[in-house]
Amino acid sequence: MGEEAHTPAPDSDGPDWSRLWQWAYRLLRSKYAYDCRPADWEDMAGDAVLKVIVASAAGKVPSSGFDPWFCGLVHNEAIDHHRRETGRDGRRLNEPLEDAGEDVQLEGDLAQELATIDVQSLLDRTELEPHERLVLDYTYWYDLKSEEIAQILGGTTASTVRTWHRNALRKLREQAREV
Amino acid sequence: MGLRDFSKSDAKSDYTAFEAGVRARLFQSQQLTPAERQGVARLGRLVQVLRRKQRWSLETLAAETGLPWLWLALLEQGVLLPEELTPATVEQLGGAFPLEHGGADPTVLFGTLAATLRQLQLPLAPAPASPDSARTAAVGRRLVRWLSPPWHPPFAGEVVTAAGTASQEEIFHLDEGWIRVTCRWWAASPEQPAVLWLAWYADLTLSGDFWVRFTRRNDPSAVLAEKRLGGALSGEVGWPSDELGFDPTNEPWALTFVLAEPTKPPA
């Protein structure tokens, strides 16, 4: 892999977490997330080390083959980061909301359409019911699943939440086409 | 429990402190119900999602909220205990995130999720149980101040010759002193069941209740028994297998020594 192995072998002083962090940082910078910013590498490397510590305390770190296991963990961090940034289909833009790009990642063609319009004003113009607006917010901003949203709202089911979601998308789509 | 175990001024990352924090909570985390664990994990994930949307590092979030880095790191990794999510800290956390595009309020959302978690923690209707099993259930709700690595005494739970049943001894070292644990066991005879005897001697500056947790030798998550030893720095106790709940001469076992927060006197 071209990277020096830094298995955190326990010794009298315990594992050297800062060395592990440095290794993760180098992996991200040179291999798994080379198109990200240094601040992102730092954040991802930190999260990778925290995950190793939790796994280690739970006895879930493999006793042999630590290096490939750790590389896989760092790689997954990079994949998660990429998905958060660009959506599962990689089509979400990274511009701030006020710059008319992000978020409300709608399905299919609508996502592309929305990339060129002001999402905030679209949301304001569309006559969404309060619960539909909340569902959109919880889904696309807070990254919650329909089951979780149902639990948070209380007195409803995941199926109902998905219906509200579909209705909200339909209304947004219709409004977007009028623009 | 609040934030008393955290250094409020420290917003810097400290992996060693995080490791100690994880180890101190692991024991109690394992006692949580799946719903509680899921609830904590959900809150942690949500914090991570919002933090990344703001492009804040964990250290930045600590500075923005005024909450300790360690507390936030434990929360994001789903290791924080539900009782550590007090309404005040949750509000402090939610209040740091800006209200985006007039939608859902993070403070309200965090508050709702934390309240749901607290509801899960309300005591259930008491099931018929022996006094000892009630005490066993209690350890999971206490703050663990220290716990030893699992110790498998040689030949524990294995068929051995008489020579193998001699006392076994282990000394656990911690920053605040040491604890010597000695144990011995006898197989069942026609007159009496199998017996496990345990003695401890501690030279510690920490105070609290001693507990001992017996697990399967090859599976630390499979708890065979938990016994409260009390607050005395030394003592000895013997348990017949029927009281212990497993046969210490037939079931390969390991033990973990636990120092938990002291028992509160009854009101």
Looking at the structure, tell me whether residues A7 and A70 fall in a common domain: yes
Please give the residue that has the higher pLDDT: either B95 or A10. Answer: B95
Percent above pLDDT 70 for chain A: 73
How far is residue B130's CA from residue B266's CA, in Å, rounded to a whole number?
Answer: 18
Task: Tell me if A128 is assigned to some domain.
Answer: yes
**Beta strand ranges found along chain B (DSSP E):** 144-147, 168-174, 177-186, 195-204, 209-216, 219-230, 234-240, 253-260
Looking at the structure, tell me whether residues A69 and A145 fall in a common domain: no
> What's the domain count of chain A?
2
Residues of B with CB under 8 A from a CB of A: 13, 15-16, 18-19, 22-23, 26, 42, 45-46, 48-50, 52-53, 55, 57-58, 73, 76-77, 79, 100-101, 103-104, 109, 112-113, 116, 220
Q: For residue B162, what pLDDT is reported?
A: 56
Q: For residue A95, what pLDDT is reported?
A: 46
Closest CA relative to residue B120, chosen from B34, B29, B2, B27: B34
Task: Tell me if A45 is assigned to some domain.
Answer: yes
How far is residue B225's CA from residue A73's CA, in Å, rounded to a whole number?
Answer: 35
Is the Cβ pair A136, B103 closer than 8 Å? yes
Amino acid in the structure at residue A48: A
Q: For residue B216, what pLDDT is reported?
A: 86
Task: Tell me if A91 is assigned to some domain.
Answer: no
Label each residue of A6-31 as H, E or C: CCCCCCCCCCCHHHHHHHHHHHHHHH
Q: For residue B134, what pLDDT is reported?
A: 37
Domain termination site, one of A86, A119, A134 = A86
Q: Which SS3 state, helix, strand or coil, does residue B267 take? A: coil
Task: Tell me if A146 is assigned to some domain.
Answer: yes
pLDDT band at A9 (very low <50, low <70, confident <90, very high): very low
Give the number of other CB atoms < 10 A from CB of residue B208.
18
Amino acid in the structure at residue B197: W
Chain B CB contacts of A143 below 8 Å: 45-46, 49
Q: For residue B12, what pLDDT is reported?
A: 76
Q: Give per-residue pLDDT as tens, A109-168.
A: 555 555 556 677 777 788 888 888 888 888 888 888 888 888 888 778 888 899 999 998
Chain A CB contacts of B103 below 8 Å: 133-134, 136-137, 141
Is the Cβ pair B49, A142 closer than 8 Å? yes
CA dihedral sign, ordered B96, B101, B107, B110: negative
Find, in chain A, the residue whose alpha carbon is nearest to that of B59: A43
Looking at the structure, tell me whether residues A60 and A120 fall in a common domain: no
Task: Tell me if A97 is assigned to some domain.
Answer: no
> Exposed, middle or buried: residue A54 (CB in 10 Å: 0-12, 13-18, 19+)?
buried
Q: Which SS3 state, helix, strand or coil, does residue A4 take? A: coil
Looking at the structure, tell me whether residues A14 and A61 fall in a common domain: yes
Closest CA relative to residue B33, chosen from B90, B84, B82: B82
Looking at the structure, tell me whether residues A44 and A73 fall in a common domain: yes
pLDDT < 70 regions, chain B = 1-11, 100-103, 121-143, 160-165, 263-267
Q: For residue A22, what pLDDT is reported?
A: 93
Task: Tell me if A96 is assigned to some domain.
Answer: no
Domain termination site, one of A34, A59, A86 = A86
Contact B146, B24 (CB under 8 A): yes
**Is this model's pTM higher than 0.80 or not?**
no
Looking at the structure, tell me whether residues A36 and A73 fall in a common domain: yes
Find, in chain A, the residue whose alpha carbon is nearest to that of B111: A152
We report the CATH number of the domain holding residue A129 as 1.10.10
Segments forming the whole domain that contains residue A31? 2-86
Find, in chain A, the residue whose alpha carbon is nearest to that of B80: A54
Contact B185, B239 (CB under 8 A): no
Contact B58, B87 (CB under 8 A): no
Q: For residue A89, what pLDDT is reported?
A: 60
- Provide the shortest C-alpha distance from residue A120 to chain B (in Å): 7
Contact B225, B215 (CB under 8 A): no
Looking at the structure, tell me whether residues A74 and A110 fall in a common domain: no
Looking at the structure, tell me whether residues A106 and A81 fall in a common domain: no
Q: Give per-residue pLDDT as tens, A20-39.
A: 999 999 999 999 988 888 98
> Exposed, middle or buried: residue A178 (CB in 10 Å: 0-12, 13-18, 19+)?
exposed
Q: For residue B7, what pLDDT is reported?
A: 55
Is the Cβ pair B100, A57 closer than 8 Å? no
How far is residue A42's CA from residue A139's CA, in Å, rounded to a whole number?
Answer: 27
Which of A47, A59, A97 has its CB closest to that of B101?
A97
Task: Tell me if A94 is assigned to some domain.
Answer: no
- Helix orientation angle between B87-95 and B106-120, rounded to the nearest 10 degrees: 160
> In Å, how far are A17, A79, B16 from A13, measured between CA atoms?
11, 33, 10
Looking at the structure, tell me whether residues A65 and A118 fall in a common domain: no
Looking at the structure, tell me whether residues A71 and A6 fall in a common domain: yes
What residues contact B93, with CB distance under 8 A and at least 6 apart? Answer: B47, B65, B67, B72, B110
Structural Rg of chain B based on CA atoms: 22
Percent above pLDDT 90 for chain A: 21
Contact B251, B224 (CB under 8 A): yes
Domain termination site, one of A32, A61, A86 = A86
Give the number of other CB atoms < 10 A from CB of residue B143.
19
Looking at the structure, tell me whether residues A146 and A73 fall in a common domain: no
How far is residue B44's CA from residue B76's CA, in Å, rounded to a whole number?
Answer: 4
Task: Tell me if A119 is assigned to some domain.
Answer: yes
Contact B196, B243 (CB under 8 A): no
Looking at the structure, tell me whether residues A14 and A68 fall in a common domain: yes
Contact B120, B36 (CB under 8 A): yes
Q: For residue B189, what pLDDT is reported?
A: 81
Chain B CB contacts of A46 below 8 Å: 13, 57-58
Contact A105, A140 (CB under 8 A): yes
How far is residue A93's CA from residue B31's CA, in Å, rounded to a whole number?
Answer: 42
